[in-house]
A and B are shown apart, each in its own frame.
Chain A
């Protein structure tokens, strides 16, 4: 007995000792890490310099640009490589290292690289909160002068430029794609059931009820991914209260997340949930692995609210469905709502390329970016089914023409909330929105939680 007490005492002492050691070790190790990385990087460059033969002096003087991108699917990498090759042909003294990365690992990698003081010269973002976070941390080069030179910025859609404008300065170049959210639907199911495109929310609810009675799931939704459900909420808020409600709440300029429009939108989402508007188990389905699209393809679901990248995803996954069944309509108006039904939720640029402040050759980096969106690449992107964010672009694909039409008519383009908000609040929005869909929080609770989070984050 005595022995065991002794052993217990010894083990407690051991625990506390190890714990303090680990704590100390942990903190110092973490502090040293960036330094280590830096020195490792320096060493690398040193050895690189050493290994370069002295005779090859010209090569050693070559300027180097590191360029990260995440266009890893389809023709994406090829289009980028073509642009870079064109740049290289005109600028033989600059070497460009193109690093293609996967979407999610990229986010982590960029953060670590920034934190370690070893960022790439050119990197993509989705603008919004995360980019602003880097801007505030002093990691992004101010591109205003370069964009204003020769009125280069007028080449782009105004909406696209405004997405990368913070504190009246331009921090990125819109390049890749315009994407807005619309309701995709199965033409055949609509025809067979005598349904017409809804102009108002009440008409949409009628359609939901009719489809439900026929045993067809009205909306395919894969909400494990969270931003998918958020699209319904964003549109409802916009239609009920107009775009200013969110903008004022998110920028803390006289608005609040407890505004009636947020609560009402939450109630409408839950009304749809209770009507059985969404596919079974929606909160556990994954958009990335296609669990909502298979519902559309198999005819089990009639509609899906999704970004217009869906057009080409469907085309490549199921061409037959694309040719015979796929169409889309804009999100309907809400009766008595203040928002213009022409407003859209989406992004005018999709990937924006920024230059890091630590870059030694920002001018050359900017030139590389210009090659990414020159005439030649615009053609290649268009052929790939994308809508480059430049003025006067006319896509050939009829569905894309309608997307362009929607965008031209739109008095406001609301960037996805989770991208617009600072990352911490963006996550809170996605979590609370998922809870809304899961009926585990009331609309009032969600509104309150968002407001509390915003107050805590902004301190007002």
Chain B
């Protein structure tokens, strides 16, 4: 389909060879979308995994009395992205939103920004929400892996006089290596094909500043009646996801085996 010029309704589909692909290579908005996707990938991995890990360690060492927190922290994960998107539209409201109200209350009025309205800021506002939504997932994921570490190891380390820090860095982390790697790839693939939350919150705007490959694909295929070009974007998205995940997978695997 990416070789066709088709509006999605006409019975006639015109074959135009690689024209869509040439246009894609020259398309600034697509390039921007690709860049935004990678910013999300990098920040997601850099923010979500460490915080998820820290929370997991906290909950793991806290034992049963922190069970309530486990539920509370996990809560964002239970909400649909669309609901989260609508919720945060109000949170970020520049007049009535909680963020604005909080900054005003603590006397940081000059830090109040147009969270979703400023092209330079909107992407990071959205990333913050993505992190809020997905950190619990990694927390539970790591927590599950940690509970599978046998208790004897902790006792042995304790007897040897290891501190908590040493125990974490030298025993837990190496044992969780595989888990972390899988988490990173999950986060990578998820971030590359990210769609719903962004679409609800900004629709890729303002002025394409939060455009992602998936939102751009949707717009082309279903709003501007350019099914052929939309398919080209979809195909490119697919290739990017596949190539990067295979690369990351092979690199981390090689590292693991030395």
Contacts and interface: CB of A to CB of B under 8 A. Distances in A.
Interface in A397-433: 422-424, 426-427, 431
Interface string B71-98: 0000000000000001001101111100
Contacts of A294: 95-96
B207 A434 contact: yes
A283 B117 contact: yes
B8 interface: yes
Nearest to A29: B1
Given A19-B239, A115-B9, A294-B96, A27 B3 contact: yes
Given A15-B242, A280-B94, A289-B86, A138 B225 contact: no
A139 interface: yes
Interface stretch (B34-42, B60-68, B216-224): B216-224
Nearest to B6: A115
A137 B242 contact: no
Given A224-B206, A423-B223, A434-B205, A440 B9 contact: no
B122 interface: yes
A137 B3 contact: no
Given A26-B1, A284-B206, A279 B92 contact: no
Interface string B1-23: 11100011111000000000000
B116 A4 contact: no
A26 B235 contact: yes
Contact of B225 (A14, A282, A424): A424
Contacts of B8: 111-112, 114-115
A111 B9 CA distance: 6
Interface in A328-373: none
A19 B242 contact: yes
B119 interface: yes
A18 B243 CA distance: 10
Given A133-B7, A134-B9, A284-B122, A15 B93 contact: no
Interface in A207-248: 223-224, 226
B195 interface: no
Contact of A108 (B119, B222, B239, B246): B222
A107 B223 CA distance: 8
Contacts of B70: none
Contacts of A117: 11
A60 interface: no
Interface in A48-64: none
B44 interface: no
Interface centre among B8, B90, B203 (most CB of A within 10 A): B8
Contacts of B202: 224, 284
A196 to B, nearest CB: 27
A435 B118 contact: no
Interface in B94-128: 94-96, 114-119, 122
A285 B92 CA distance: 9
Nearest to A294: B96
Contacts of B11: 117, 137-138
A22 B238 contact: yes
Given A7-B254, A22-B238, A284 B224 contact: no
A202 interface: no
Contacts of B206: 223-224, 283-284, 434-435, 438
B116 A224 contact: yes
Nearest to B222: A108
B115 A289 contact: no
- Give the residue among A115, A223, A283 with the most B Cβ atoms within 10 A: A283
A294 B90 CA distance: 11
A36 to B, nearest CB: 15
Interface residues of B, number: 45
A440 B207 contact: yes
B250 interface: yes
Contacts of B207: 283, 431, 434-435, 438, 440-441
A291 interface: yes
B133 interface: no
A284 B117 contact: yes
B32 interface: no
A286 B82 CA distance: 14
B208 interface: yes
Contacts of A26: 1, 231, 235
Given A284-B122, A423-B225, A440-B207, A133 B219 contact: no
A280 B112 CA distance: 10
Contacts of B225: 111, 130, 133, 422-424
Contacts of A14: 246
A354 to B, nearest CB: 13
A108 B219 CA distance: 11
A50 to B, nearest CB: 30
B89 A289 contact: yes
A212 B206 CA distance: 24
Given A111-B9, A427-B223, A8 B250 contact: yes
A438 B114 CA distance: 11
A281 B1 contact: no
A244 B225 CA distance: 27
A187 interface: no
Interface string A270-281: 000000000111
B93 A285 contact: yes
Nearest to B116: A284
A379 interface: no
Interface in B188-207: 202-203, 205-207
Given A7-B250, A19-B239, A111-B225, A284 B92 contact: yes
B226 interface: yes
Nearest to B125: A284
Interface of A: 4, 7-8, 11, 14-15, 18-19, 22-23, 26-27, 30-31, 107-108, 111-112, 114-115, 117, 130, 133-134, 136-139, 223-224, 226, 279-286, 289, 291, 294-295, 298, 300, 422-424, 426-427, 431, 434-435, 438, 440-441
17 contacts: A26-B1, A30-B231, A111-B8, A114-B8, A115-B8, A133-B9, A133-B225, A136-B10, A137-B7, A137-B9, A224-B117, A281-B94, A281-B114, A291-B90, A435-B207, A438-B117, A438-B207
